[in-house]
């Protein structure tokens, strides 16, 4: 499954957020991979809007596996002060977004219909 989420970093701390993510702890990287976080990326806008994307078998399970790791607890504590909503750990404050379009799925659906039989002549 594909998962996209948003969160919000304090705008005055964007440089620090970038610095920390330029060299994520190797044990955190390994924990994410072991927990099933694949093709994981973060994108940030200048106002602090943070968008995350990952692929996993089951997001709730992948989050639960990360929650069991000591490195995740330490990482979340390090990151907490950078986020606007510091009342909850950053990884619990993610707001998951609904997927409304996927090119590959629609192409596959179109190909499954008569779209594959259409020939374009130039």
Query: Which residues have a catalytic role annotated?
Result: 21
Distance CA 91, CA 39 (A): 17
Q: How many residues does the chain have?
A: 122
Q: Distance of CA 19 to CAs 15, 30, 50, 60, Å?
A: 6, 19, 15, 28
Distance CA 47, CA 45 (A): 5
Residue with tokens 């130039």: 122
Distance CA 2, CA 67 (A): 20
Strand partners, 43: 51
């Amino acid at each position: 499954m594909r998962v996209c989420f948003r969160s919000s970093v304090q705008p005055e701390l964007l440089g620090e957020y970038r610095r920390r993510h330029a060299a994520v702890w190797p044990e955190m990287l390994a924990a994410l991979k072991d927990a099933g976080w694949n093709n994981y990326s973060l994108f940030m806008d200048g106002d602090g809007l943070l968008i995350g994307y990952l692929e996993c078998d089951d997001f709730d399970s992948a989050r639960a596996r990360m929650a069991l790791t000591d490195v995740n607890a330490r990482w979340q504590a390090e990151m907490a002060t950078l986020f606007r909503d510091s009342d909850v750990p950053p990884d619990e404050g993610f707001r998951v977004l609904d997927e409304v379009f996927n090119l590959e799925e629609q192409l596959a659906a179109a190909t499954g219909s008569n779209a594959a039989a259409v020939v374009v002549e130039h």
